[in-house]
A and B are shown apart, each in its own frame.
Chain A
Amino acid sequence: MSLPIAPKPALRRFHQASWDEPVIFELTTPGERGVLVSRAEPGVREAVGDVVADLPTGMRREKKAALPEMGQMRVLRHYLRLSQENLGADFNIDVGQGTCTMKYAPKVNESIISTPKLTDLHPLQDQGDVQGILEIIWSLERAVAEISGMHSVSLHTSGGSTAIWTNIAMIRAYHEANGDGQQRDEVITTIFSHPSNAATAKAAGYKVITLYPDADGYPDAEALKAVIGPRTAAIMITNPEDTGIFNPRVQEWVELAHSVGALASYDQANANGILGITRARDAGFDVCHFNLHKTFGTPHGCGGPGSGANAVSEELAPFLPGPVIVRDGDRFFLDSDRPQSIGKVAPFYGVAPNLVRAYSWIMALGAEGIKAVAETAVLNNNYLMKKILEIPGASAPYAAGRRRIEQVRYSWQELYEETGISSEEIGIRASDFGMHYWTSHHPYVVPQPFTLEPTESYSMAELDEYAAVLAEVAREARETPEVVRTAPHNQTVHHTHHDDLDDPERWAITWRAYQRKYFS
Chain B
Amino acid sequence: MTQPFVHPYLPNTAPDVKAAMLAAVGAASTDEFYADVPEALRLDRPLDLPEPFVAEQDLVRHVSGLLGRNVPTGERLSFLGAGTYNHYVPAVVDEVINRSEFLTAYAGEPYEDHGRFQALFQYQSLMAELLNMDVVNVPTYDGFQATATSLSMAGRMSGRRGVIVASDVLPDKMSRVTDFVRTNLDLTAVPTVNGTADVAAVTALLTEDTAAVWVETPSYTGAVETAIRQLADAAHAVGAVLVVGTDPVGYGVLTPPADQGADIVCGDIQSLGLHQWFGGAHAGFIAVHDDPRFVMEMPSRLFGLATTDVPGEVGFGDVAYDRTSFAHREEGKEWVGTAAALWGIAAGVYLALMGPQGMADLGETLLARTRYTQLKLSGIPGVALTDNALHLREFVVDFSEASVTAHAVVDTLRAQGIEPGVAVGEYELLVAVTEMNTQADIDRLADAVASVVAANTKTEEKSA
Contact = CB atoms under 8 A, between A and B. Distances in A.
B400 interface: no
A61 B258 CA distance: 11
B419 interface: yes
A356 B64 CA distance: 10
Interface residues of B, number: 210
A344 B355 contact: no
A353 B320 contact: no
Contact of B103 (A76, A79, A88, A360): A88
Contacts of B259: 62
A400 interface: no
B128 interface: yes
6 contacts: A37-B361, A67-B126, A347-B144, A356-B67, A369-B10, A502-B322
Contacts of B143: 347
- Closest CB pairs A-B (n = 10): A348-B279, A366-B52, A123-B279, A161-B337, A86-B115, A205-B183, A352-B280, A301-B342, A34-B353, A132-B69
Interface stretch (A3-11, A192-200, A225-233, A309-317): A192-200
Given A59-B224, A169-B179, A459 B111 contact: no
Interface in B86-122: 86, 88, 90, 92, 95-116, 118-122
Interface stretch (B157-165, B236-244, B324-332): B324-332
A112 B73 contact: no
B72 interface: yes
Contacts of A442: 326-329
A67 B277 CA distance: 27
B302 to A, nearest CB: 5
A81 B24 CA distance: 42
B335 A48 contact: no
B296 to A, nearest CB: 8
B318 to A, nearest CB: 6
Interface in A328-361: 342-356, 359-360
Nearest to A194: B337
B8 to A, nearest CB: 8
Contact of B355 (A69, A196, A346): A69
A293 B438 contact: no
Instruction: State which size class the interface on A falls in.
Output: 35 or more
A198 B325 CA distance: 9
A369 B41 CA distance: 20
A197 B264 CA distance: 27
A351 B362 CA distance: 27
B73 A125 contact: yes
Contacts of B449: none
Interface string A143-172: 100110000000001111110010001000
Given A89-B104, A122-B84, 5 more contacts: A23-B122, A41-B439, A97-B106, A165-B335, A405-B36
B194 to A, nearest CB: 13
Contacts of A354: 280
A115 B67 contact: yes
Given A125-B76, A344-B176, A379-B21, A428 B111 contact: yes
Contact of A509 (B50, B179, B303): B303
Nearest to A112: B63
Given A403-B33, A510-B134, A131 B70 contact: yes
Given A37-B362, A133-B278, A76 B92 contact: yes
Contacts of A20: 312-313
Nearest to B359: A65
A353 to B, nearest CB: 6
A43 B251 CA distance: 25
Contact of A342 (B135, B179, B321, B338): B179
Interface stretch (B54-62, B205-213, B451-459): B54-62
Interface string A123-140: 111100111110110010
A248 B37 contact: yes
A27 B52 CA distance: 50
Nearest to B276: A122
A428 B309 CA distance: 15
A286 to B, nearest CB: 16
B131 to A, nearest CB: 9
A363 interface: yes
A265 interface: no
Contacts of A210: 329-330
Contacts of B118: 21, 23, 82, 85
B395 to A, nearest CB: 13
B11 A458 contact: yes
Given A135-B66, A378-B30, A117 B72 contact: yes
A383 B243 CA distance: 53
B111 to A, nearest CB: 4
Given A199-B334, A460-B12, A136 B96 contact: no
A13 interface: no
B103 A86 contact: no
A24 B369 CA distance: 32
B188 interface: no
B369 to A, nearest CB: 6
A369 B5 contact: yes
Given A301-B342, A343-B179, A510 B136 contact: yes
B59 A121 contact: no
A305 B339 contact: yes
B50 A379 contact: no
Given A56-B226, A112-B67, A495 B50 contact: no
Contact of B136 (A370, A500, A509): A509
Interface in A31-78: 32-41, 43-45, 47-48, 51-52, 55-56, 58-62, 64-70, 72, 75-76, 78
Nearest to B367: A51
B390 A55 contact: yes
Contacts of A146: 47-49
A38 B106 contact: no
Interface string A434-450: 00101001100000000
Which residue, of B41, B108, B301, has the highest number of chain A Cβ atoms within 10 A? B108
Interface string B353-376: 111111111111101110110010
B279 A61 contact: no
Contacts of B17: 459-460
B67 A136 contact: yes
A121 B316 contact: no
Which residue, of B50, B80, B251, has the highest number of chain A Cβ atoms within 10 A? B50
A115 to B, nearest CB: 6
A351 B435 CA distance: 24
A47 B71 contact: no
Contacts of B345: 302
B320 A88 contact: no
Contact of B419 (A122, A360, A385): A122
Contacts of A342: 179
A177 interface: no
A513 B134 contact: yes
B33 A379 contact: yes
Contact of A283 (B41, B86, B178, B352): B41
A409 to B, nearest CB: 16
Nearest to A247: B36
A353 B346 CA distance: 15
A72 B54 CA distance: 41
A370 B318 CA distance: 37
Contacts of B402: none
Contact of B107 (A78, A299, A362, A438): A438
A342 to B, nearest CB: 5
Contacts of A355: 280
A47 B375 contact: yes
A509 B12 contact: no
B90 A35 contact: yes
Given A371-B46, A491-B114, A496-B307, A100 B390 contact: no
B281 A132 contact: no
Contacts of B360: 61, 64
B42 interface: yes
A352 B277 contact: yes
Contacts of A131: 69-70
